[in-house]
Amino acid sequence: MPNASFTLSIPPELLQEIFLKNTEVDDLSHDRLRTARYSSQVCQSWRSLLLRSPFVWARLLDLDSLGRSREKWREEVVSRIGDAPIWMEGRVRPSLDSVLMFVLEKKWENVQALRLMGSFNHYPTNSWSFIGRKAPLLETLTIHFPDSLFPTSQLHSLCSSLLFNNEAPRLRELEISTAFQVKPSAPWLSNLQVLILSTKQTVTSILSILHNTPRLERLHLLPKSILAGEEISTSPVQLPHLQFLHIGYTDYSEAVPFLELISPSCTTCLLSMERAYWTFNVHGVPLIDPMAEKLHRAVLRWILTYSTGFGIPNDITLETYSSELAIFLWIRGPKSEAERRHYLRTTINVDIPLGPNASFIQSLIDASPSPFSSVKKLRLTSFINHRDELLQLLQTFSSVTELVLDPGWEKISALCPTQSQFFPQLRIVEVRPTREGPQYWTMAASRLPNICDFLEHRAAVGLPVSELDLRDVASYLQRDAYERLLDRLNKIDGLVVKWGSLYFQI
C-alpha cells in the first residue's frame, strides 16, 4: 500500500495525468478497468478525484473486462462516464447487450473510439440506426465479424441508413465490414488515415473509395475482402501519405490491381503481403498463370521503392516452404509482439509463390543497388527448391554480421563453397531452432556438427567467426556429443562459445 503522506503529496493535476495514462490501450495484457478500480481504493483523496473524472471511466468500457464483472459493477462504471468522450472495445456477447446498446443509443455523439468484434449472431438485434446520426467526436470505428464463423450469405447490414448523416469530421480509422455499407462519395473519407476492409468488395468499388482517401496512411485488405473478375477501368490511385499496405491471403487477380494501380510512397511504404494463392490443373499440377509475372513485377517494384526510400530492415528472415504443392518465398522483417491490425508494426512481409521457375528470385539478384546489401542480421530457416538461385541471392547480403541458423537447415554445407564466399563481414552465428518443442531441440542439437563444418571452413579461408551462440540448444546435448563438439570448437582460434545451461554436470 502506498505511503499515505506520499499519495497526498502528489498534485491532483499530475494524478489525473497518471490516471489518464493508465487508460491508454498500449498493453494487451493490461486490465485498464481493474487498474482504475484499484486506484480508486488507495485512499479517500484518490477516490474523490477519480469519481470526479468521467473522462477516465469513459475510456474504460472494455467489454472483455466488463464481461468478467458483476452486473452491479458494470452499471456503476457506465454511471461514471458522464458526457466524456467514450472508448469502447472488445468482444460482443449477449450478456452485455444492455450495456452496449444503452451507451451507443444514448451517447452516440460522445463516442470517440468503437472497436467491436465477435460472431454476427452475438450482436444485439436492436436497431443500429444511431450509426446514421452525426458523429462529431468519432475517430475510430471497427466492427469486425470473423467470417470463418458463419456463411457470408447469412449476414446483413446492422445499419442501412447514411453513415453518420455524412458528418464525422474527426474520423481517422475505419473498418468496412458487413455491418454497414460505405458510399465512395462520403465526404468524411477524405480525412481517413487507416482503412481496413474485411467484407467482400469489388476491385472497382475499393479503388473508388481509395480515390477519395488522399490522407490514407495504412491500408489493410483482409482475406476474402476482394472480389475480382470484372473489367477494371480506373486511373491510378494517388496515396502520397501511404506508409503500409497489407494484402491478406488472396489470389493473383485480386492482388495485382492494387499493387499496380497504387504507387508506393517515395518516402516510406511498408508492404505486408500474405501468401497469394496458386492455381492448379485437374491433376494437381501448378499452372503457369499469366498474372503471376505481373504479380512478381509489381511486388518487386514495391520492394525496390521501399528499399531505396526507407531502407530494408537490418534484421531479415529468409525462407522458402511448400504449401499445396507450390513453393513460396517468404521475406520478412521483425515485428512487435501481440500485434493487432490497428497497431501493426511489421516492416516488410512478402510471402508469394515462386512458380515453376525462379524468375522472381533472379530479379532480386539483378536489382541494382541490391535491396539487401544493408542487412546486418539474417535468419535462415529452410530452403526448398531453387537452390542455386537462392544461394546467389544470399551473396547479395554483403553486410551481414550476425547469422541465425536453424541447425536443421539442409543447405548449411552449401555455405562452404570452393569459389565464392558468403557474408564477408560475418562475426556472430546463433543456432536457434525455428520449431518449438523438446523433440526439435534434441534433433537440432544432434546436427551441430554441420555448424562446426561451416565454422571450420570460414576459419580455413580467413573469414573466422568470433562468437557462436548455442544457448537455445546446448541443454539438449548428451555428454559424449558435447565433448566431441567442444574438441572441434576449441581448435578454432578466437572463437567464443556461449553454451548456456547444460543438462549434465561438467
- Tell me: pLDDT of 312 over 50: yes
Please name the helix (run of DSSP H) or strand (run of DSSP E) that holds residue 225, with its range, or none.
none
Residue 156, pLDDT score: 54
| 202 band by pLDDT with thresholds 50, 70 and 90 | confident
Rounded Cα gap, residues 349 and 460, in angstroms: 36
| 8 band by pLDDT with thresholds 50, 70 and 90 | low
| 493 band by pLDDT with thresholds 50, 70 and 90 | very high
CA 10 to chain CA centroid, Å, is 39
Percent of the chain residues topping a pLDDT of 90: 19
* Beta strands in 192-255, from DSSP E residues, in sequence order: 194-197, 201-202, 218-221, 226-227, 244-247, 250-251
| pLDDT, tens only, 65-83 | 888 888 888 888 888 888 9
Most confidently modeled range among 243-247, 257-261, 409-413: 257-261
Buried b (16+ CB within 10 A) or exposed e, 140-173: bbbbbbebeeeeeeeeeebbeeebbeeebeebbb
| 336 band by pLDDT with thresholds 50, 70 and 90 | very low
Most confidently modeled range among 35-44, 195-204, 363-372, 487-496: 487-496
Rounded Cα gap, residues 435 and 411, in angstroms: 17
C-alpha cell at 491: 581448435
Residue 497, pLDDT score: 93
Residue 358, pLDDT score: 78
Rounded Cα gap, residues 101 and 97, in angstroms: 6
Mean predicted lDDT score pLDDT of the chain: 80
Residue 107, pLDDT score: 92
Pick the more confident residue, 477 or 492.
492
Rounded Cα gap, residues 504 and 61, in angstroms: 52
Q: What is the pTM of this model?
A: 0.81
440 φψ region: left (φ > 0), alpha (ψ -120 to 50), beta (else): alpha
Rounded Cα gap, residues 57 and 60, in angstroms: 5
If 0-12 CB within 10 Å is exposed, 13-18 middle and 19+ buried, where does residue 438 land?
A: exposed
Kindly state the average pLDDT of the residues 468-486: 87
Quote the crossing angle between the two packed helices 438-446 and 448-460, to the nearest 10°.
40
Most confidently modeled range among 1-5, 95-99, 114-118, 148-152: 114-118
Kindly state the average pLDDT of the residues 333-344: 51
Residue 428, pLDDT score: 96
- Tell me: pLDDT of 496 over 80: yes
Residue 62, helix vs strand vs coil:
strand
| 268 band by pLDDT with thresholds 50, 70 and 90 | low
Residue 23, pLDDT score: 83
Question: At residue 223, what is the residue type?
Answer: P
